[in-house]
Structures are given as structure tokens and as C-alpha cells.
């Protein structure tokens, strides 16, 4: 059942991404209702998956990477649904729909059966850590989306293609401000997530079965630390280093890719130890 629901979600988000990009390419506000309906249905089904997992595990459904990615996708979907009524320009759907589709697709790459957390990791701080990192990923995703639009707009202005900008995208200045807002929000959330995560790991390192040193050199933590330093540099020294909007935009896109690799790539390719599910070999079987 869960597998079937997730496949339907992927179909819905794929359709939404196509609709969002097509609306931008044509510069028309048609099919806005269809885009909203597709994302709303996808968010509803993903929320249902989380509810099923909460019932099966008897705990808050944030016990693994799959649930975290689902939460991220739902958060992005809700962001679109809340703000789409106010932001009527087609660029908003063109950014959000592909971003939601990307996170949903990455969720599928790390899908695993439901599992409970180790008893030592079942603390409010772990949940706070997980939520902060998920929201930080959402903010860097939004920043990367606006950065991509900034680069596209700048290119079209350079080639004097004004007809492809007017009424379709915000001004260059507005896109740059939105990019910086996303970076600031990401840095704040990531800082909280790192402090709570590393703090909890150090306090409970013995019962979690991983030393503080092993935690700090884990591939996922190292990559997230690199992104944190990158964002801190951009926001702290952007004016002093005379970084142009184009450079900031490219760094934002690179930071988003690093975050996604830290979340998903390290779990697939690097064997990250950032996994505190109980009984990893005998996981709870959910109905497929």
C-alpha cells in the first residue's frame, strides 16, 4: 500500500513539474488550478504515508532519512500552497514544482521500511535536530531556486530578451533579496540543527555506539559543516569580498547540491553512521 501511494505521489509531482515549467515558458497563468491541485494531492498522500509510519512505529515519524525527505517535500508543498494565492506570477510554480519533484525523487532513492529509533536517541532534542535540518534544506532549496531564476533573468537581460522577463519573473534585485533571505534562514536553522545534533551525540555517545570523534568525521557531518562555513562566508563577507550577485547565485546552487548529497548521497555511497534506528536488520514491515 505504501509503495503504491508513493508511486502515485511521484506521478503527481512529475506532472506538476511539467505544468510549472510549461507555464513559465509560455508566460501564461493558465492551468494554475491544475498545478495547485496536483501538489495538494501529492502533499495529502505523503502526509498519509507519514501517518501510517507513525502508527506502525508508535512514535513521531522522523526516524529515518526517508521520513526526513518526505517531511521536506511536504514542507515545500505546503509552502507553495500557502503562498501561491499571494504570488500569482508563473515563476513561483516554475521554481517550486521542480524542487518538490526533485526532493520526492530523492526520497524514493532512500526509501526503507519503517523502523523505531534507538531508545537513547528518543529525545525531544533529536526531533528538534531533525526538523531544523529538514527546514534548513528547504530554505537552501528555495534559495537555489531563486538563484537559478536570477541567473536565467540575468542572461536574458544580457541578450535583451525583455519579452521573456516582463510579467514572468521578479526583478533582478528582488530575486537577489529572496536568495539572501533563504541563505540567512538556512544558516540559522542549520546552526541550531548542528548544535542540537552534535550536542546530543556527544552527551549520549556511549549508548549510541559512536564516539564524538567518529561523529564529527562522518561524511554527512563534514559536508554539512562545509556548507555551513560556505554560507557563513557568503553572508558575513559578501560585501567585503565584493561578491557579485552572479557569484552568490552559483555558490547557492552549489551549496544546495552539497546539502542534497549530504542527505542522500552519503547514505548511498559513503556508508554514513548518521543512522540511529533500532534493530536495523529486523525493521518493521509496513504493508506494501
- Is residue 171 within 8 Å of residue 150, measured between CB atoms? no
The CA-to-CA distance between both ends of the chain, in Å, stands at: 4
- Is residue 213 within 8 Å of residue 221, measured between CB atoms? no
Confidence (pTM): 0.79
Please enumerate in sequence order all residues whose Cβ is within 8 A of that of 156, keeping only pairs 6 or more positions apart, or say none: 162, 164, 165
- Is residue 170 within 8 Å of residue 178, measured between CB atoms? yes
d(CA 267, CA 231): 23
Please enumerate in sequence order all residues whose Cβ is within 8 A of that of 280, keeping only pairs 6 or more positions apart, or say none: 115
pLDDT digit string (tens) for the chain, length 288 residues: 788 899 999 999 999 999 988 887 766 667 778 999 999 999 999 999 999 888 887 777 777 788 889 999 999 999 888 887 766 667 788 888 999 999 999 999 988 877 766 565 567 777 888 889 999 999 999 899 889 888 888 777 765 655 554 455 667 788 888 899 999 999 999 999 988 887 777 766 655 566 667 777 788 888 999 999 999 988 888 777 667 788 889 999 999 999 999 888 888 877 666 665 655 444 444 444
241: phi then psi, degrees, rounded to nearest 5: -85, 0
* Residue 159 Cα distances to 139, 152, 229, angstroms: 30, 11, 35
d(CA 78, CA 62): 18
d(CA 55, CA 274): 24
d(CA 14, CA 100): 9
* Residue 28 DSSP symbol: -
Amino acid at each position: 500500500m505504501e509503495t503504491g501511494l508513493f508511486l502515485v505521489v511521484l506521478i503527481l509531482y512529475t506532472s506538476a513539474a511539467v505544468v510549472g515549467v510549461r507555464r513559465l515558458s509560455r508566460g501564461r497563468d493558465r492551468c494554475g488550478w491544475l498545478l495547485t491541485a496536483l501538489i495538494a494531492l501529492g502533499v495529502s498522500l505523503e502526509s498519509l504515508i507519514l501517518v501510517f509510519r507513525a502508527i506502525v512505529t508508535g512514535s513521531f515519524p522522523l526516524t529515518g532519512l526517508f521520513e526526513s525527505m518526505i517531511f521536506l517535500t511536504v514542507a515545500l508543498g505546503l509552502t507553495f500552497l500557502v503562498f501561491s494565492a499571494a504570488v500569482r506570477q508563473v515563476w513561483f510554480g516554475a521554481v517550486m514544482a521542480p524542487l518538490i519533484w526533485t526532493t520526492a525523487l530523492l526520497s524514493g532513492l532512500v526509501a526503507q521500511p519503517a523502523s523505531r529509533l534507538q531508545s537513547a536517541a528518543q529525545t525531544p532534542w533529536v526531533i528538534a535536530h531533525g526538523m531544523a535540518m529538514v527546514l534548513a534544506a528547504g530554505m537552501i532549496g528555495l534559495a537555489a531556486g531563486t538563484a537559478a531564476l536570477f541567473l536565467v533573468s540575468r542572461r536574458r537581460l544580457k541578450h535583451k530578451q525583455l519579452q521573456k522577463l516582463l510579467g514572468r519573473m521578479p526583478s533582478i534585485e528582488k530575486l537577489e533579496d529572496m536568495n539572501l533571505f533563504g541563505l540567512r534562514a538556512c544558516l540559522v536553522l542549520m546552526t541550531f540543527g548542528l548544535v542540537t545534533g552534535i550536542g546530543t551525540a556527544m552527551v549520549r555517545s556511549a549508548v549510541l555506539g559512536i564516539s564524538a570523534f567518529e561523529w564529527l568525521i562522518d561524511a554527512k557531518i563534514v559536508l554539512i559543516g562545509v556548507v555551513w562555513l560556505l554560507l557563513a562566508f557568503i553572508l558575513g563577507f559578501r560585501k567585503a569580498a565584493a561578491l557579485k550577485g552572479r557569484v552568490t547565485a552559483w555558490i547557492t546552487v552549489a551549496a544546495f547540491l552539497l546539502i542534497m548529497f549530504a542527505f542522500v548521497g552519503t547514505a548511498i555511497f559513503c556508508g554514513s553512521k548518521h543512522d540511529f534506528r533500532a534493530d536495523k536488520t529486523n525493521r518493521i514491515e509496513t504493508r506494501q
